[in-house]
Copies of this chain bind each other. A is one copy, B any other.
């Protein structure tokens, strides 16, 4: 079984910290490990916590239930990924999502205050952790803002154009490759795959863009 440090070196929260510096820091972060079996709830929506979760092994889902009892899977997390950090740092009293263990999983919990508040001088790299947390939150912010810009267009056509324009700007070229297949892009844009294909076909007919598989070219 992999050691905790070994796994955490690959977690964004411990980026830039040497593996042998992690172990001694865990005490300071009040880390506690817990195992969950397959199909067990790690956290129930509506409860409170002051701990940030990290998946050490296994796989967990973030689930939201509406008032009529319909469940939506918001995310699926694997090794090294964080959960709950935004709610805990944002001081949400009742966390509105559940966390569910899809497979047998080892979860590490870190105390929020300890994680974001570097200790005076005791742990050399403790400061890196809070700094990494800032980066993680900022980058997630950027990602969410981008997707929101696309999703807030009224028509699928405009969503597609918004997404492709963005991709072109990032690539610095009117010709670029996207990291999605059609189904993936449809999901990202919250649309039906065949409707997406139709819209893309129409845009090609109108000579607004051209594409072959995942390679696109924006005309004019």
Contacts and interface: CB of A to CB of B under 8 A. Distances in A.
A138 interface: yes
Nearest to A88: B138
Contact of A134 (B64, B134, B148): B134
Given A89-B135, A190-B152, A218 B144 contact: no
B90 A149 contact: no
A152 B151 CA distance: 7
Copies in the complex: 2
Q: Chain A's interface: helix, strand, loop or mixed, by majority?
A: helix
Contacts of A213: none
B92 A142 contact: yes
A127 B127 CA distance: 12
A201 to B, nearest CB: 20
A144 B174 CA distance: 29
A214 interface: no
